[in-house]
Chain A
Amino acid sequence: MALTIDVNGEQRVVEADGETPLLYVLRNDLKLKGARYGCGAGQCGACTVIVAGKAVQSCDVPVAAVVGKAITTIEGIGRNGQPHPLQQAFIDEQAAQCGYCASGIIMAAKALFDAHPGAGETEIRDALARNLCRCGTHHRILRALRRAQERMAR
């Protein structure tokens, strides 16, 4: 079945069953590998993207449900060489060990800061309630998020 979805500002046609989780459409049909697979059950946040302004676990939404909504993936906010301030802050703070959790966390944080640029420490931590980091990089990631928030406020 052909579906048209709006990804990073472009209309993309994909041949996929409407039930297919958005994650596999992004990764396998559109070759956008930045949303990572971690659990497939909405529990780890590795696959987080922004749909209509909200952070969403893309493994947990069927593609049919996002037709007509604006989808933003990590690839849509900045590129290697031209990073988004959030990505730059992760680089500046060296906020990664394996980095597998990073794109999901960056997207969750972007959704938060877009809606609440002045979010406080507790709000930031709460916004990441569905994002897991197994390497224990939390403390650097939080530092990177505060740094990005300051930079974006300027």
Chain B
Amino acid sequence: MTNAPIPRKLPGSLETNRALDRWLRINGDGTATVFPGKVEIGQGILTALVQIVAEELDIGIERIRLAPADTSYSPDEGMTSGSRSIQEGGMALRYAASEARDLLLQRAARKLGASLEQLTVANGVISARGGESVTYWELASDDLLRQEATAGIAPKLPAHHSVVGSSAMRLDIPAKVCGVSTYVQDMELPGMLHARVARPPSRGARLLTFDESEVRALPGVAAVVRDGDFLGVIAAREEQAIRAQRRLARSATWEETASLPESMDPRYLLQMKSEDEVISEKGDAAGAARASRTFSAEYTRPLIAHASIAPSCAIAQFEAGGYTVWTHSQGIFPLRADLVKVLGVEEKRIVVIHVEGAGCYGHNGADDVALDAALLARAVPGKPVRVQWTREDEFMWEPYGSAMVVKMSAALDAEGNVVNWTHDLWSHGHSTRPGPKDGANLLAAWHLAQPVKAPRPGNPPLPGGGSHRNAIPLYDFPGQRVTNHLVREAPLRTSALRSLGAHANVFAIESFMDELAEAAGADPVEFRLRHLKDARARAVIEAVAAKASWKHRERGDGTRGRGMAFARYKNLGCYVAVVVEVEAANEVRVRRAWAAIDVGQTINPDGVINQTEGGIIQTVSWTLKEQIRFDRERVTTRTWDDYPILTFAEAPEVEVVLVDRPDQPPLGAGEGAQGPTGAAIGNAIHNALGVRLRDMPFTRDRLIAAIARQ
């Protein structure tokens, strides 16, 4: 069997976690244990990782056990984010497993007196040509994998894959749909107490007074904790903690400041100080000279919430000067690093253990509530303390996806080709996750009497980027300039929301491309292809056009219409093209959506399709309905009534085509659909009604106003 070539730098997270037994263990009982550093956030990653290991080890999926991520033994894989889990964790496990298989084969060869070439493996049974056999489980011992990974054993070639590339059923779904205790919210430890935090009413509010004795006297209350502006209560029963928290909140008086922008319109960004950086520039004098018509447009997106269906939750226990924390954080090691700074204990005194939460879609309150739990647990040594954020806590205090303003301009030549393109974007930073070099990115840390300050917020660097993610067009324009105007100071905390800046940047690029196609008298599909050399990009656009039976220059009927859009996520990840059909009378409804996606090698096709469908439907919700609201002092979004999301009555039908490329490296799938979906909706509305909506969300009021202006 010929094998894939061997890379020099170790693949994925193996580079930074080289001990083979950090990743895998072969057990005597007929099973193998996998130790992923990446965590399940509803994206099905653990099933995909199990498939990768089963493939390389030649064992059935059912033989694989998964160890929860735990700072005391798991490989440090940083964050589970950015659609990088297959590239990082998956590739590490692929090479670790192929090396483990080889070590087992070597043992078997010695035992059976056969040469390696004479051995075959089926479900963990190694057989020699003569018929003698031995199992992995007989050969396994503690020292088997006690060595450094070399990545010296090449994994199987894609052509030999049978488990990878198949739609293995998700391992976690049966328990979840049967109501089994699964999530950290469900977890219970002996002697556990329930706690809630009475957060400040607004950012920067200072606690003046509160009635400790009244709350202390309520039934079940075990402790009231105050540290600076951090205020919490611990009780025996959950409903007692809830009642006590309400009383605490009611009794507290605060001094508030009017620190928020005067208007919720994202254009407040344009009034603030920005750091401006040209991130892409190319000039072409000949092209510029051909310019015959110029166009410009401005697009915005408001602050958007992650709004996980389950508010954040954590359990912490303080004992013998150390902490154990159970959390649904996306990064147990970065969280531990920040906890060290705030709690003032050595790293080895904090163990952080991952337990699943609901879908998070980026950086929400998960890490913050873990610190809340640790701070409160300190008041009741030895007792596990469970802190459940309320819906209101989550809406008011989670870090939001930043508001953005994008200004576009372009010139067309006489033939309707783009000869010049500029893209200017204003946004706050998109990454304030835990684990920075200095300061701590945990909410309560900033409220303590001795606060640990937040570091300067910012962006992940290009090529992936943060606010500038996907700002550089993939199209081949002769002249372009892209400028990132980073508004570092954020009136409200912002951080990574699924796809980061790509949602608004692609919305702007792809809406504008549609406007230009229209001006050029071209079909939107043809217009994109005409400016695009990348063969894989062209392939997904063609695939979605075929799937949706796109008709050349099709027109809406005054109510219904269709639009399309495309992006390559981060300009280096998956390729996604989307077509949506909307019905827009007084209100916009997305009825159907089609998508084509190329993620390179696919580990689990149904998993990719599921993530893409979910990405599309969630983005329909963002684009049509969602916006965090505030006045000069407070966030006024508190409940689902204040922040409606897409309902079952409104959900579109979605069809996804997978453009499989088994010979290409896997690219990740979780965030490719967001940008194209937003733009496709705007384009479909224009196709249906002839009006162009450039400010998200596309609410009824905005649609009616746009029609009236027509």
Contacts and interface: CB of A to CB of B under 8 A. Distances in A.
Describe B's contact surface by its main secondary structure.
loop
Contacts of A138: 617, 646, 648, 651
B164 to A, nearest CB: 18
B438 interface: no
A132 to B, nearest CB: 6
Nearest to B394: A39
Given A36-B185, A133-B309, A125 B179 contact: no
A53 interface: no
A96 interface: yes
B68 interface: no
A75 B359 CA distance: 22
A5 interface: no
Interface string A34-56: 11111111011010000000000
Interface in B614-667: 614-618, 620-621, 639-641, 645-649, 651-654
A68 interface: no
B43 interface: yes
Interface in A2-33: 16-17, 19-21, 24, 27-28, 31-33
Given A39-B640, A97-B610, 18 more contacts: A17-B239, A21-B239, A24-B237, A32-B179, A33-B179, A37-B185, A44-B640, A87-B178, A94-B170, A97-B43, A98-B41, A98-B357, A99-B42, A100-B183, A132-B309, A133-B309, A136-B613, A139-B651
B181 A33 contact: yes
Interface of A: 16-17, 19-21, 24, 27-28, 31-41, 43-44, 46, 73-75, 78-81, 83, 87, 90-91, 94-103, 106, 124-126, 128-129, 131-142
6 contacts: A17-B239, A41-B391, A128-B649, A134-B358, A135-B42, A135-B309
Contacts of B179: 32-35, 73-75, 103
B524 interface: no
Contact of B176 (A38, A46, A79, A96): A96
A31 B189 CA distance: 12
Contacts, number: 189
Contacts of B358: 98, 100, 134
A36 B616 CA distance: 25
Contacts of A43: 391, 639-641
Given A97-B42, A97-B614, A134-B359, A33 B186 contact: yes
B253 interface: no
Interface residues of B, number: 61
B611 interface: yes
Interface of B: 41-44, 169-170, 172-183, 185-186, 188, 237-239, 242, 307-311, 356-359, 361, 388, 390-391, 606, 610-611, 613-618, 620-621, 639-641, 645-649, 651-654
B23 to A, nearest CB: 25
Contacts of A34: 178-180
B614 A99 contact: no
A132 B645 contact: yes
A86 to B, nearest CB: 8
